[in-house]
Structure 1
């Protein structure tokens, strides 16, 4: 154990929440007690039921670090947002994906929907955060095995319990970084309605939210509740809509002589919007306007040969916030049998939503054009000698709409169960079925075969047609020639002809049966001993279909130019059709809570808690996980606790059997210092085994006087055999390959015409980069969570203050052959890895200056970060400045309504703070595509929301 962690362990414990001594792990507003009583209490017999344990019921006595978040509290400062957006304001989360994530659809990080709400604790990965609803695993809704938490009925969520430590022994695989458990209100009675409308300072990203919930008793012992939510977000279609996002990117090679440099106003020096002739008599001439040649104006050169500052070059302009339209429905029926011995329930949740985002603009990269091309004005044809039959041509195809990803999700979860009491023991059996259908349409994708035909335009019979129409009639019927000589020279018909919409459909299903029994079979002199036994079987299956796969190659028959038989038909393709793969697992587990001491000097109480689980997968092996914890109350105001656990994350079906997918990338080739546009195939690995996690937590909770608590938690998480996607295009992998002289296995992840033979000219630039999943990495992180709460009165009016802090100084990735990379305090990393500030703070202030009016202020702050980790090369001014935002909410209760009618106005990012500029060093020449700010910073600017809440 390192000295720095030992010091932290002696200092710390988990994020806790307090509003009164009786509720040491929740912080409802002092004014919310009436509302809680009218619906359902947050507690059972005055105490929080602890997520992370099946035997501990008192939140004060949990050895695991648990944060309990009242839904009403967290949404007050973030109205109009999803509950996932609101949770991501908490410091425990880092790296979560959402509507402002990079606009990508293909690949493991996206899971088919790059804008889905994926929760990520400590930036260890969404697949290592287990998501539950009422203590039961939510079936995966994305094809990478991750849960899009929009499936949860936000209107009926009473609270969210967050366990920031490993609990695989209690809940099974994936609970490595922690658990997020949505606890529903099963006793809701009455009607609740909400409506809000929001818009940004810039007049965009308009949001509309409508929600309705009803609950009531149908008969004695029979209770029904229903909810419906509609959400629409217009998004922000262009990064250029924010003046500070001025084509941001990183140039350079990462060497001492040519360091990485963050710059703005970047342009592609060979790809103007109107097209550039790159060889022959007219070399260097561009079509600045349709059909009219003029000299290409170069900007200022940079450390990347293909990038300039300013000039006539083109640039990307992807979406900033994805569009969203969704419908969420939920229903639950509860039945209590006469006598109270048996309770039954059945519930269903459905989520139908569509996310839309805009990404790449197509390019022509040194395509071959005939000097007699029918669209080239005769005056320019005459300037090209007959001895030069063709010339090469490059263009940023802004006349073709950007690649547009529309992800349509249909998600269903149905659950049913029985529970009751038998001889003093509690028992339960449950069944869950989940099905997620994800249909992704990626439009405006270049069809290489059609483009090849359309670029070869000739005159025939007084009309401009495709050459293949003349030379091989009937071979490509319907061919429409395309004019590329100008910024918007192409006709709508030609654009429609050379582009396709590529469709990808996937179905993920999960069936799970579980049972448990718990009770107190005997007591020690210090109190009753609680035990629980549980078992679970579940099966997950996955299938997919694609309209364009990596196995679909072009046919060059009859085509003169620009056709390579080894190219896929489309520039972007999804994986091949896949069916018949499933993953099943059965598990048995036991847990105990043993009181050792009570009411003796220095020991008001001392309890030992433990759990063990045996897990058997049909594919990836057998595993034993365990957890051991201690909770020591010295007196009424100070307690210490600690846990040690062994956890696992089994490979998902996507990790094991994902169909081969290929995307086009334009990464910086460090061998030749060029940025070729080449395919990036992604491979799965059926031989993967489970990751192994080891977690240690410990700390102290102080409650020195009524209404105040201070909790500090330290943690250390080590993951071995971590499943990692190794991508040959990343700077670290490239450098490891080159340093080995070509002997490293990482060199197999790239292809070149002449191999690594010392030829570093453009003629030997990479022709593809590959990505593969391997059990190859070790991951280690440690840190401290702090929470302080005070609830009392100010000038005899209710007030509360709450501060949450996360300190995460290390997030280290170790991999053979390359230097350790510490991603803590870093803004960007490979494969979509996003920001992990080492210090993250969130503060809440609630005051009620007069009767019926409340004021809530939320402040978020993160410290400065690096652009990239030390292992990525030399970075000039490797710093992203700190960033903070302030949210203000004013709520007004209608007089005489007893709080049943409330209007509110909210301003997020009150002071219109602009995120500091930042970009990923590995994005090469893709300025304006996915760069500009660190994920987690708010790029919208000041945002206004007004709404109404009704309850009766």
Structure 2
């Protein structure tokens, strides 16, 4: 299939490329008209200069005007930054920008997820991926993750990119829902002529995780330059990195050393003398005694994790492999002087894989195989009134076993790693289709219009292995010896259906036939579709003394749908995991918007320019009804070269399909303490009264004198997470204020003539955030605060059962609700500078610095809950910057980029009985240095070499027990570099 796709795409590329050769003289690549750049404009005069041929539309405004600027802060990522980085995926480059937080999905944190393997997302301001709107040329992109609005950046052809604008602050009035934290607008080239090709190879200093990519882009004009067509074919392959391939992640650490000593100074020191208790040879409890097997296969009593345990790290993954095939095309054709046809098309096929340790199986506890008391596994089978012993059971275990559940049959509990299955592996194929077709033109001389239809679809097929068919496993575990002396499954119906008896005692004891019988492969199929129809009209309505009165109006219709289909065993929770339902849902929205720019003063003392900007949008959702968003802002230039700007916006995020329609997914929460424990018939207070109101609790108190919950009661607490079709939209308000200094226009000459500096304050507050109430909070609200809504989520057993006490908690459900709060504020500063120099043969040197300081950042899950701060914590360092410097002429370009992540702190921790405060444990700052050297041979050929993490800066140890630990990586893998020093080289051809 892969070869067939490759042949089809390559054939298409060669066909279109041949057509372009026939119509183009392979002119030198030119840069098309681009939106006005502020922060991030190119500082290299050897780079192609932007050309402007009339009105343009900039990110942050819908008004087409030659003089329009954004009143909200924008940071632009330029072509030079992309080529200087040697990246495979633009996520890598965007994450260097301190405005972005740790991504929820990337190569280094998706190995343990049930879906989304290899997806690359971005998260502005650490406010959540769902609150960052990603656009291509101002239009939406279909999600890469079912049930969400998360765009997978794997689908972006970086050779098409002219620049990437990152807009801070709420922008829903301009772009619709989801633009709460801001907008990432990826702007494509639109007048490319010629051919550009590149190939690159990279590898780490340690000789692993190879990285390949090859791309070709061709474009040319036709029909007497009335049309332009550009196409792109790209291939990339990012290699896998396993935990055992790095020295510091080769050995399992169940705890960090400070959790043993209680001294926060010991944080980050691994405690590697204990391994997982789920061992391949098995751990068995019979009659209160523990048994296992020695490495030589001898049954012994007792179990020590340091001696008999299992090293999970030897089978885990740090970075998943991702392979991409990408084909893209973009075209325009002038039907007449005032009407242009525009088209865009993209097909991307991403293949990712994950690998983790073999499945751990237990007879009791979460995911237990046997539902009886404590997960008791019978060692005997009743055959015609006679108890027949399981012939696989060793004598020592059988003799020690007792009847623990009163059925007259000896039983045991077990925990075992199913190594005979091999590692748990999953393969994911994600196919992305998107096309845009539209018309645009001019009308009434000063107005620009456009109408377009945007269709996108993402389909995903995921296959996983290593799980267990619970029903088959129960049948296989009940074995007897038949009349011929053969060991068979006890149940005749199971035998007729191919049951193979299973021996769980000792490493490697499960036969291949038994493995085939009990194995439960998993499948997941998703399909996400997005359709958007939009029309816009903008221009100058009337000329005022201070300039033209700019307006923009438009209407949009959007429909989105998402389907997730799991296999039947997963739906029923019969693969030793929790039950996961299928999810189907759709919504549509009709919207109209308007924007106005009013020039108030111009060319006056202290008022070179003063503009007022306002916009509003009305959206009618099929789910949440009609909502309103708006913003106001302005910019003031008191003198040439200095501009002050500010915005205030009200934005929204409508609930996505998963939040609305996700079916109940079962979970078994840990650490839940029943607040009714100890309550008596005479205990006073609200809590006691509410407890006694439950019939089961009252019966328990009557029987025991006080409410008593056993260990099985605690282990038996379950619940369901689910969507909520009654959710409302999230509401936010954002405020930004800042200044932009352009030194040359300000009157500074010499070395400072090409210097620009922007400083902006941002403040974003989101109310009614969609969340799920923590289960402990639900209990508190119900029993201490008399919350009827919280009490409705709790189910207690009215009478005693075979396993559980009367009144014990059976379910605490957690549907999605509105009620949380998110807040962050801080300062961004961006500096650009360059100057010509003579010592490099008429070249240029320059620098760019982007810095962010967080003042505050926190979330409140629900009203009344404690504030959870993230500013200053791991992934939300209060100080971050990226600085780059280059020297360039016609023969070479040398670039250095440094990224700094400030000192960060752990969140509140509690491990091994020690409570550690928020600022008691810190992680030192980190600095990463990258470099690239490009050698130019005329205007046709470039050869480049580069190195990332030149200083081989190691990621800090953030080990098990930390909420920031990414399993298998021993660090916060979405925040810090996990690869170490790595090198790459490549070549580019331009004709």
* Higher mean displacement: 372-381 or 674-683: 674-683
- 1:149 is aligned to 2:153: yes
Q: For the structure 1 residues 361 and 837, does the alpha-carbon distance in structure 2 shift closer, same or farther, using more than 3 Å as the test?
A: farther
| Cα contact 1:464–1:481 (8 A) shared by 2 | no
What's 1:718 paired with? Answer: 765
Residue 228 of structure 1 corresponds to 233
Distance 1:234 1:404 in 2: 16
Aligned partner of residue 60 in structure 2, secondary structure: coil
2:359 equivalent among 362, 369, 376: 362
Deviation at 1:676, TM superposition (A): 6.0
Q: Is the 8 A contact 2:89 2:153 kept in 1?
A: no
Whole-Å separation in 2 of the counterparts to 1:135 and 1:753 = 54
CA distance in 1, matches of 2:279, 2:567: 32
Q: Say if 1:868 and 1:920, in contact at 8 Å, map to a contact too.
A: no
The answer to whether the 8 A contact 1:165-1:715 is kept is yes
Distance 1:752 1:365, change over 3 A: farther
Does the C-alpha gap of structure 1 residues 155 and 64 become closer, same or farther in structure 2, counting only changes over 3 Å?
Answer: same
Q: 1:278 aligns with which of 285, 301, 307?
A: 285
Counterpart contact for 2:65–2:540, Cα < 8 Å:
no
Whether the 8 Å contact between 1:290 and 1:489 is mirrored in structure 2 is no
Q: Which runs of 5+ in 1 are unaligned?
A: 1-21, 107-111, 300-309, 553-567, 828-834
Equivalences for residues 440-451 of structure 1 within 5 A: 440-451=462-473
How many Å apart are 1:315 and its aligned residue?
4.9
Distance 1:604 1:244, change over 3 A: same
Answer with 1 or 2: which has the greater Rg.
Answer: 2
- The structural deviation recorded for 1:578 is 4.5
Q: Please tell me whether the aligned partners of residues 238 and 319 of structure 1 are also in contact (alpha carbons under 8 angstroms).
A: yes
Aligned to 2:866: 819
CA distance in structure 2 between the aligned counterparts of 1:586 and 1:743, rounded to whole angstroms: 37
3-state DSSP class of the match of 1:846? Answer: strand
The answer to whether the Cα contact below 8 Å between 1:627 and 1:643 also exists between their aligned partners in 2 is yes
More helix by percentage:
2
Mapped to 1, the partners of 2:343 and 2:465 lie a distance apart of: 40
Who is 1:874 aligned against?
A: 915
Aligned to 1:342: 339
Aligned to 2:895: 856
User: What is the match of residue 52 of structure 1?
Assistant: 60
Alignment partner, residue 27 of structure 2? none
Higher relative contact order (CA 8 A, sep 6+): 1
Asked if structure 1 preserves the Cα contact closer than 8 Å seen for 2:130 and 2:178, the reply is: yes
Do the aligned partners of 2:424 and 2:467 also contact (CA within 8 Å) in 1? yes
Determine the structure 2 residue equivalent to 1:482: 502
Aligned position for 1:13: none
Shift of 1:411: 1.2
Matching of residue 535 in structure 1 with residue 555 in structure 2: yes
Give the TM-score taking structure 1 as reference length: 0.84
* 1: CA distance, partners of 2:192 / 2:656: 36
Mean Cα deviation higher: 706-715 or 256-265: 256-265
- In structure 2, what is the equivalent of residue 453 of structure 1? 475
- For residue 885 of structure 1, what is the aligned residue in structure 2? 928
Q: 1:224: how far off?
A: 1.4
Shift of 1:629: 0.8
- Structure 1 residues 929 and 736 mapped into 2: Cα distance closer, same or farther (>3 Å)? farther
Deviates more, 1:406-415 or 1:672-681: 672-681
CA distance in 1, matches of 2:670, 2:543: 65
Mapped to 2, the partners of 1:677 and 1:258 lie a distance apart of 34
| Number of the residue aligned with 2:679 | none
Distance 1:291 1:942, change over 3 A: same
Partners in 2 of 1:203 and 1:69 — Cα distance? 31
Give runs of aligned pairs for residues 582-731 of structure 1, distance below 5 A: 582-662=586-666, 667-669=670-672, 681-704=720-743, 705=748, 706-728=753-775
Contact 2:286 / 2:401 at 8 angstroms: preserved in 1? Answer: no
Q: State the 1:278 CA deviation.
A: 1.9
Q: Give 5+ residue unaligned stretches, structure 2.
A: 1-35, 364-374, 381-388, 675-709
Matched with 1:330 is: 328
In structure 2, the residue matched to 1:389 is 410
C-alpha distance in structure 1 between counterparts of 2:711 and 2:957, whole Å: 25
SS of the aligned residue for 1:115 comes to: coil
Spell out the pairing of 1:432-447 with structure 2 (5 A cutoff).
432-447=454-469
- For 2:711 and 2:400, locate their aligned partners in 1 and report how far apart those are by CA, in whole Å: 34
Distance in 2 (CA, whole Å) between partners of 1:135 and 1:903 is 34
Among 30, 47, 72, the alignment partner of 2:80 is 72
Matched, 1:119 2:162: no
Per the alignment, residue 677 of structure 2 pairs with none
Q: Secondary structure of 1:85's match?
A: helix
Paired position in structure 2 for 1:314:
310
Match of 2:4 in 1: none
2:666–2:721 contact (8 Å) kept in structure 1: yes
CA contact (8 A) 2:297 2:507 kept: no
Cα shift at 1:677: 10
Deviation at 1:950, TM superposition (A): 1.5
How many residues matched? 870
Scaled by the length of structure 2, the TM-score of the pair is 0.81
Q: Is the 8 A contact 2:286 2:397 kept in 1?
A: no
Between the aligned partners of 2:486 and 2:962, the Cα distance in structure 1 is 43
Tell whether the 8 Å contact from 2:437 to 2:453 is kept in structure 1 after alignment. Answer: yes
Q: Tell me the equivalent position of 1:801.
A: 847
Equivalent position SS for 1:607: strand
Query: Aligned-pair distance for 1:86?
Result: 1.4
Q: Secondary structure at the match of 1:439?
A: strand
RMSD: 3.7
Q: d(CA) in 2 for partners of 1:379 and 1:871?
A: 39
- Give the conservation status (yes or no) of the 8 Å contact 2:929–2:950: yes
Structure 1 equivalent of residue 271 of structure 2 = 264
Distance in 2, matches of 1:116 and 1:677, equals 35
Q: Distance in 2 between matches of 1:751 and 1:74?
A: 55
Secondary structure of 1:170's aligned partner: helix
For 2:357 and 2:67, the matched residues in 1 are separated by 49
